[in-house]
Amino acid sequence: MCPFVDKAYSRCSACMTLRNVTQAVAYCANRFVACPIYQELVADDRQSGPVKVPVCLLAAS
């Protein structure tokens, strides 16, 4: 499954229609690495730098 499918990217919305449902399932669920939109999103993520993850430190008493 494409890791971007739940993100509601506008670039994906043209493919996520009833008219394109067969193609959307083929790409988003199976061959997402071959999807040109996936390739663009991965390239954008790489250019933006490392992902910032919030960290919560807990002190033991």
Q: What's residue 41's pLDDT?
A: 87
**pLDDT at 55 (0 to 100):** 61
Please tell me the total count of domains within the chain.
Answer: 1
Q: Between 7 and 40, whose confidence is greater?
A: 40
Residue-level pLDDT at 5: 81
Q: Which tens digits make up the pLDDT trace of 4-34?
A: 888 878 888 877 888 888 888 888 888 888 8
H-only helix segments in 1-61 = 10-13, 21-25, 36-47
- The token pair that represents 30 in the structure block: 């199976």
- Domain of 34 in residue numbering reads as 1-61
| Residues ≥6 apart with Cβ < 8 Å to 51 | 45
Band of pLDDT at residue 48, cut at 50, 70 and 90 = low
